[in-house]
């Protein structure tokens, strides 16, 4: 029986993965890794180059880009070529760019390798879109976290408003539906639940209720492995 555990949380954009995974990691005393932020950082890099939709340019740049994850006072910070972009990556255009660049196989290969290296030998809670299927296929517990598109758009609107970057609900919902389509139809590691993932629909649950439910699942899974 191993003392090291890993929790893989996958799901569509706006499902609350980062917020809930972070809270779950804290409750379990584990490291939290927001893998989506890594794709966002590369999406921002390609946006600045003006080549998000050029798959050849994206594939060429992925080996050269300098993305670093550091933990400051227990919080994850993302650095792009030494610049702290933790806040800069949380805007709609970067979300779409992340979805676009992540469809390029070379990008996913590089990110998966980086994520596995960070997680090695640590108790970790990791969230993203292919954690249970690609990054941590042997995770102690796999959760597929979801909610209706309407509820996810409502949550994203609230999040953007709190950051002073309000967007119309109709636009956020359209972006959400487009992002879902891109993520589930890409050739490289499309978003899909792992066969052994537990589905958790948070449409009618508060953050606290969702985290409590996942904590119970995690405790049971860790006790068995």
pLDDT, tens digit (0-9, with 9 covering 90-100), for 21-79: 999 999 999 999 888 899 999 999 999 999 999 999 999 999 889 998 888 887 889 99
List the chain residues with pLDDT less than 50. none
- Residue whose structure tokens are 């030494």: 82
Count of alpha carbons within 13 angstroms of residue 108, beta-carbon side: 21
Other beta carbons within 10 angstroms of residue 97's beta carbon come to: 24
Domains in the chain, start-ordered, CATH in brackets?
A: 6-35+91-218 (3.40.50.300)
Whole-number Å distance between alpha carbons of 41 and 79: 8
- The pLDDT assigned to 139 comes to 95
- Token couple for 143: 């959760």
- Token couple for 190: 């499309």
- The pLDDT assigned to 2 comes to 63
Q: Which helix (H) or strand (E) holds 159?
A: helix 149-162
- The pLDDT assigned to 92 comes to 87
Q: Do the Cβ atoms of 126 and 17 come closer than 8 Å?
A: no
Q: Which helix (H) or strand (E) holds 106?
A: helix 105-119
Q: Do the Cβ atoms of 146 and 199 come closer than 8 Å?
A: yes
Tell me which residue of 26, 123, 124, 6 sits closest to 74, measured CA to CA.
26
Whole-number Å distance between alpha carbons of 16 and 218: 17
- The pLDDT assigned to 71 comes to 82
């Amino acid at each position: 029986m191993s003392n090291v555990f890993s929790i893989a949380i996958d799901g569509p954009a706006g499902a609350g993965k980062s917020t809930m995974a972070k809270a779950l990691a804290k409750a379990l005393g584990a490291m939290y890794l927001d893998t989506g932020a890594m794709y966002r950082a590369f999406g921002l890099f390609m946006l600045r180059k003006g080549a998000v939709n050029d798959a050849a340019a994206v594939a060429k740049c992925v080996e050269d880009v300098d993305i670093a994850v550091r933990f400051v006072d227990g919080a994850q910070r993302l650095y792009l070529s030494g610049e702290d972009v933790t806040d800069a990556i949380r805007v709609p255009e970067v979300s779409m760019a992340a979805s676009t660049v992540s469809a390029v196989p070379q990008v996913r290969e590089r990110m998966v390798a980086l994520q596995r290296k960070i997680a090695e030998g640590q108790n970790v809670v990791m969230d993203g879109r292919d954690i249970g299927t690609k990054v941590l296929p042997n995770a102690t517990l796999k959760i597929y976290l979801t909610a209706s598109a309407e509820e996810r758009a409502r949550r994203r609107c609230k999040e953007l408003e709190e950051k002073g970057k309000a967007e119309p609900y109709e636009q956020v919902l359209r972006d959400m539906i487009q992002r879902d389509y891109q993520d589930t139809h890409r050739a490289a590691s499309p978003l899909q639940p792992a066969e052994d993932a537990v589905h958790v629909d948070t449409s009618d649950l508060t953050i606290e209720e969702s985290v409590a439910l996942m904590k119970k699942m995690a405790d049971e899974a860790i006790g068995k492995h």
